[in-house]
Amino acid sequence: MHVVVPYAADTPKTRLEPALDAGERRRLARTMLEDVIRAIRATDREPTVLATGAIQSPLGASVTVDDRPLTEAVNAVLGDRLPEGPVAIVMADLALATPDALGRLFDASGDVVVAPGRGVGTNAIVVRHPSFRVDYHGGSFVDHEAAARECGAAFNTVDSRRLGTDIDEPADLVEAFVHGPGRTPDLLRTFGFELDREKGRVSIRRSGEGVDVADRSSSF
């Protein structure tokens, strides 16, 4: 299986701007990418990074540069690689991904297998049907299900919170902080974040800062 990890090389993770400065966002994006690469390698597969611009190779992984939008760049890979065998696309910000969760995705049956993300997104996908193409607009889960049906591909999903959690907004940082299996939690600690537990909610915040980076409260 050819495993691709798309990566925004230039200005990654802009939606984390309320919580992190540009340098921190770059370091976080890079650390999450490396965590994802390690998790993929632990399933005995070697990922290729599909970057929007030149980057230093993360952990010695192959890097392909394609500055087109995500959908076009991924579909170019599908066109090239599907004739040879299955292709998996795993987003670079899945800081909770473990080898077990990725193994369940890679091993699931189906011509198109999606690990859904919040907001009806597609956080990871395995494609085994030669004519299936991705479309990463809003609500891509629904699009991908419809596209699979249209080309006669058997559609399946994998039920994983680890693959379903992308680190996109400040409120997501606590997920990486608590549940991340790689080095992302340590990086967040280096940035000065700590668990902040007030009545009825949990988030992370910088030591000494009063500013709460999470606006999502927990009900339990």
Q: How many CA atoms lie within 13 A of 66 on its CB side?
A: 18
How far apart CA 182 and CA 196 sit, in angstroms, is 21
**Which residues contact a second copy (rule: CB under 8 A)?**
15, 70, 91, 98, 100-101, 116-123, 136-142, 159-164, 166, 168-169, 171, 174-175, 178-179, 195, 197-203, 214, 216-220
Gap between the Cα atoms of 97 and 182, Å rounded: 9
CB 78 → a second copy: shortest distance, Å? Answer: 16
Shortest distance (Å) from residue 29 CB to a second copy? 13
CB of 59 to a second copy, least distance (A): 24
Of 54 and 211, CB closest to a second copy? 211
Cβ count near 212 (within 10 Å)? 16
CB of 185 to a second copy, least distance (A): 13
Of 161, 191, 155, 195, residue with least CA distance to 177:
195
Nearest to 171 by CA among 141, 123, 213: 213
Strands 62-65 and 121-127: unpaired
Q: How far is the CB of 97 from a second copy (least distance, A)?
A: 10
Nearer to a second copy, 118 or 149 (CB): 118
Q: Which residue, 62 or 218, is less far from a second copy as judged by CB?
A: 218
Nearer to a second copy, 47 or 116 (CB): 116
